[in-house]
Amino acid sequence: MFAKAAPRRHSLTRLSALLLGCGALLAAVGAHAATPTAAQRAAFKQAWAAAQQGGDGWRAYAAKLRDYPLYPYLPAAALEHDLRQTDLVTVQAYLAKYPDLIPAQDLRRDFLLELARRQDWNGFLALYQPGMGDALTCDALQARMAGGAMLDFDRDLADLWTRPELPGACDPVLQAAHDQGLLTTPRLWARIDRAADAGKGGTIATLANWLPPPQNQEAQWLAQALRDPASAVAAAAGWPDTARARQAATLALERQARRDTPAADTAWQQLQTRFQFSTTQRNAVLRALALFHATDFDTNALQRLIALPAAAQTDATREWRVRVALATQDWPAVLAAIAAMPAAQQQDAEWRWFRARALAATGQAEQAQAIYADLAGATTFFGFLAADQLKQPYAICPRTHVDDPQQEQALLAQPGLLRAFELFAVDLPKLARREWSRALDGADERTQVLAVELADARGWYDRAAFTLNRGEAMRYYTLRFPLASQDGLVPQAEQAGIDPAWAYGILRAESAWMSDARSGADARGLMQLVPATAALVAKRNSLPWAGGDSLYDPATNIALGTRYLAQVAARFNGAPWLASAAYNAGPNRVDQWLAARSTLPPDLFIATIPYKETREYVARVMDYSVMYGWRLHGKVLPMSDRLTPIGQSYALPNSTTPRKTVDCPTPSPAPAGSVQVPAAATTAASRANQ
């Protein structure tokens, strides 16, 4: 997580470039560097709500907003609402007035889609610009064809043809290409193979219709292998032994191994004698079977992995060889599995940690200590574990940027950042993030840090996590791990009976402080609660509940999220690391893993969690919990105290709980414009801007 990189020299070149054109652009968009007023923001919110209803009603609220930085968003919103009634001249007038703004970019794209729907191809070509995505590229080709142009494969289709999947707008273009004879059999198979590699069965099924028999049937077998591997494996017994049938059977067996490993094993025993699989295909099937027997920790899983041919080995099979050995605490097998890894893979912190554990368990204490000492200098999950093993302070070496009010004011005058901050201030965070990304595209680290400090001062905490996420910038810990005391996390966690540092760690891992975050599973807000779960938690704890959208309110989300965390933790003797796993993968899954491997120490149990996402999530949350413990107290609860043995009750830390000191034993040279500070100087529980 906190990988160290060599310090970079800072340059003001990018900042200067960002500011050179400010005057002209400010004039163009009617913006100025003066701080917008609360009255302007209130008027904008009213005008924005009206603009989203279409028409000109928004203008009544916008009389005094002509010089407000977000004014261009208002007419664009009204035009977007009325897109089906809008004409080309009106859109072109807006684009001419605000050519470089994000709402103009969106309006151009959306009106082009509307013109394509109308099949107004002359208007479309008048407005179209290349590079706006595959759908509009295909619409542009339709527009040209409507004017009588013929397609040329190399000019018009070669780039699109590399995509494993295309939008529906491309269907008429592909049909026209087929009718012109451009989709030759070799070209069709080339794209089918790309789609097969990407797992796009739908693309293959469509393309199969343009192949001559019996090749069309063979392509359909590939589609079936991807869409329904169980039925494909069963049907393969009746397929002829052709190259394409072997390809489809291989795909089906690999897919089935993931879904039902024993069934795939049985099918492989039958099919390997029917088909003359190539060495590469046999290795692919053997690899999939070995890997998914391993993730199920089946009998002989370790032997299967060891027996894999060298050409069938991958980083995944090699790491699972270690995990299976860890599950049985077979320390010589752990050492052998790590030794079988390439040198680069062995250098991963996880495998260095377990190599040290294995060396210590096999009587090679001196070598183990050397590895622990090397790991203990890292501000990571395994670094903290190693420091505990050596009974050393944690290595936390923060950077704090020197205040530079003049440069901050220069950044505030940059139109894109000004719009970003204003969009955040009027509760339009998605638009704010887009302006932010565009404004800081290509900016150097110094500029980014200054911008993040400005965002942090305004309560826009997620910018640090998404901006300062590489190299030495990751050591701006006070920015990357904000406390945000106004949202009430500490008192809510204490009332719920959980460690605030852990609750902060969950929040940081779940949303990175994006209060409007929403997952594909409809988990919402800072702590990513599903509305149905939140409603039950509210009822159980007699807390107010105002529906799913209330989860975007930080205070509401935290109040319910901390109670749910407490509920999950209670199921696992209060252990935050097990509760973290359950928060990510579900309590029932964790119960299954405990039933199989409850005798393992916590670090081994985490390493044997079958889901990569959950393994990394638990380590990340525990890592973040240490960082937040440091932010709150200046000292830290040891990682080993957080990883209570399975079945043992977790002792909730309090004001009398012993905590470890932190240290910066080998500080790296400070880059220009930065200073190294002692950890204690950066751990106040409240900040000036909160």
Whole-number pLDDT of residue 193:
97
Q: Domain residues for 162?
A: 13-169
Per-residue pLDDT of 162-202, as tens digits, reads 999 999 999 999 999 999 999 999 999 999 999 999 999 99
Q: How many Cα atoms sit within 13 Å of 453 on the Cβ side?
A: 21
Whole-number pLDDT of residue 4:
31
Distance CA 321, CA 304 (A): 9
Residues 6+ apart with CB under 8 A from 602: 577, 643, 644, 645, 646
Whole-number pLDDT of residue 10:
34
Whole-number pLDDT of residue 401:
74
The answer to whether position 94 is within a domain reads yes
> Letter for the amino acid at 476?
Y
Which pLDDT band, with edges at 50, 70 and 90, does 467 fall under? Answer: very high
Per-residue pLDDT of 85-140, as tens digits, reads 999 999 999 999 999 999 999 999 999 999 999 999 999 999 999 999 999 999 99
First to last CA, the chain: 27
SS3 (DSSP) at 394: strand
When divided into structural domains, the chain yields a total of 2
Distance CA 162, CA 152 (A): 15
The pair of three-digit structure tokens given for residue 677, joined into one six-digit string: 């500070």
The answer to whether position 567 is within a domain reads yes
The answer to whether position 185 is within a domain reads no
Q: Identify any residues that bridge with 395 across adjacent strands, giving them in sequence order.
A: 663
- Is pLDDT at 28 greater than 50 in this prediction? no
Which pLDDT band, with edges at 50, 70 and 90, does 11 fall under? Answer: very low
Q: Give the CATH number for residue 518.
A: 1.10.530.10
- Assess contact for 535 and 563: CB atoms under 8 A: no
CA-CA distances (angstroms) from residue 63 to 30, 46, 533?
Answer: 13, 12, 45
Domain boundary (123, 149, 169) is at 169
Distance CA 125, CA 106 (A): 17
CA-CA distances (angstroms) from residue 475 to 40, 344, 590?
Answer: 37, 25, 33
- Where do we find the tokens 């940081």? 508
The answer to whether position 675 is within a domain reads yes
Residues 6+ apart with CB under 8 A from 286: 308, 309, 312
Per-residue pLDDT of 610-648, as tens digits, reads 999 999 999 999 999 999 999 999 999 999 999 999 999
Whole-number pLDDT of residue 31:
39
Q: Identify any residues that bridge with 675 across adjacent strands, giving them in sequence order.
A: 400
Distance CA 604, CA 596 (A): 13
* 602-606-609-611 Cα dihedral, nearest 10 degrees: 160
Whole-number pLDDT of residue 666:
57
Cite the beta strand spans of 461-586 per DSSP E.
none
Domain boundary (127, 143, 169) is at 169
User: Residues 325-364, buried b or exposed e (16+ Cβ, 10 A)?
Assistant: bbbeebbebbbebbebbeeeeeeebbbbbbbbbbbbbeee
Q: Give the CATH number for residue 118.
A: 1.25.20.10
* 176-177-179-184 Cα dihedral, nearest 10 degrees: -160
Q: Residue 517, class by beta-carbon neighbours within 10 Å (0-12 exposed, 13-18 middle, 19+ buried)?
A: buried
The answer to whether position 476 is within a domain reads no
The answer to whether position 568 is within a domain reads yes
Mean pLDDT, the chain, as a whole number?
91
- Stated pTM of the model: 0.89
Residues, the chain, total? 690
Find the range with the poorest average confidence among 186-195, 216-225, 401-410, 656-665.
401-410
Domain boundary (169, 202, 217) is at 169
Distance CA 237, CA 259 (A): 19
What sign results for the dihedral spanned by CA atoms 85, 89, 94, 100? positive
Phi, psi angles (nearest 5°) of residue 400: -125, 125
Peptide bond into 214 cis (omega under 30): yes
Per-residue pLDDT of 273-315, as tens digits, reads 999 999 999 999 999 999 999 999 999 999 999 999 999 999 9
Q: Residue 255, class by beta-carbon neighbours within 10 Å (0-12 exposed, 13-18 middle, 19+ buried)?
A: buried
> Letter for the amino acid at 91?
V
Q: What percent of the chain has pLDDT over 90?
A: 89
The answer to whether position 120 is within a domain reads yes
Find the range with the poorest average confidence among 118-132, 344-358, 396-410.
396-410
SS3 (DSSP) at 312: helix
- Is pLDDT at 672 greater than 50 in this prediction? no
Which pLDDT band, with edges at 50, 70 and 90, does 9 fall under? Answer: very low
The answer to whether position 368 is within a domain reads no
Whole-number pLDDT of residue 671:
41
